[in-house]
Structure 1
Amino acid sequence: MTSRRVVVSAVNWTELYSKCPKHQLDQFRELKTKTDNLVSKITSLPESLPPINWEHYAHAVPIPGLVDKFKKEYAGFSVEYPKDTSGAVTKVQSQGRIMKAALNKLPPVDESVPEIMVAYFGLQANRFIDRSKPISLGNTNILKRSAPSMHWDFN
């Protein structure tokens, strides 16, 4: 029952750990522990529900016909796996395609100078500018391009 509904996700925990900031390592370890506990709990559940001993309840419940009514309702009850009625998966995939297309319109990294990074990323540009390397235009076509007129304007 559980293995059919739970999708196996391959999380590369070592890569996540290497990218995690040092001040958040404790929170990362807590997340990993919680995830491992949930996975072990889900995998410990049986594939199908254990059978109900209706005879025991028929003798234990004093109201006549109640157990038969519950048995009939239980047999007719089924929970369907939820369907994606809002199209969330297709929306996320289309947003991913749009973002990839936008990223492909950015100038190549080897042609990026601080001015272009500031034009594209604004106040976040300092994250991408390596101050230890000297700025050299070299053999680039950087002067043939123009920075966008506004932030994230890829048209």
Structure 2
Amino acid sequence: MNASDIVERQVAAGGGAKTAVVAEDATLTYDELRRQINRAGGALRELGVRREQRVLLVLDDTAAFPIVFLGAMRIGAVPVPVSPRDKDDNFRHFVEDSYAELGVADAPLLERLAGVLGGHDVRWLVAATKRLSPPAPARKPAPA
């Protein structure tokens, strides 16, 4: 079992229409999240990602993060999340220490990463940051 199985269990229990992810750029139900996880896992597999291979994730707090994180887990890969606000030296360290051969990053970071990680054999995939649905309205606090 891995964390992506939690989504499968929720859908199997009839909770597919319930909200699973609320991010600034998207709100996803469990059904939508499941489809996106499967697509992300399939894309990683098509790019040659194998079981137990590390996938570096340099993603902001968008819906792409849980989708790619769980998509990597779905195929048995190991997601290695790195804050996009981290220092350049830390990026180098994560690449060298993780042995990642593939990274997934937000488009605005690619130029910076290419400059910092020149000489490393990491292939980069750009995460879709397009809004999948309107942001969810702010939730009101529960009455005390």
Taking structure 1 as the reference length, the TM-score comes to 0.21
Higher strand proportion, which one? 2
Higher helix proportion, which one? 1
Taking structure 2 as the reference length, the TM-score comes to 0.22
Larger radius of gyration between Structure 1 and Structure 2? 1
- Relative contact order (C-alpha < 8 Å, sep 6+): which is higher? 2
